[in-house]
Amino acid sequence: MQVQNDAQPYDTINITPMLDLAYVLLVIFILMTTAGVQGLTMNLPKPSNKPS
C-alpha cells in the first residue's frame, strides 16, 4: 500500500502584511516629522524678580 502525499510546497509569499506595516510606518513617520517641524506655540509668563 502506497501513501500519496498531496501536500505541495509553499512557494508563494504573501506580501500584503508587509506592505500594510510599511504603510503604517510611513504614515507615522510623516505625522511625526510634520508635528516636529511645526511645533507648539505657547505663551509663557514673563519672569519677575519678585519673590513668590
Tell me the pLDDT tens digit for each residue of 8-33: 777 788 899 999 999 999 999 998 88
pLDDT score of 8: 72
Per-residue pLDDT band for 2 (boundaries 50, 70, 90) equals low
Per-residue pLDDT band for 52 (boundaries 50, 70, 90) equals low
**Has this prediction a pTM greater than 0.75?**
no
Q: What grid cell was written down for 37?
A: 517641524
- H-run or E-run covering 32: helix 16-38
Number of alpha carbons in the 13 Å side-chain half-sphere of residue 44:
5
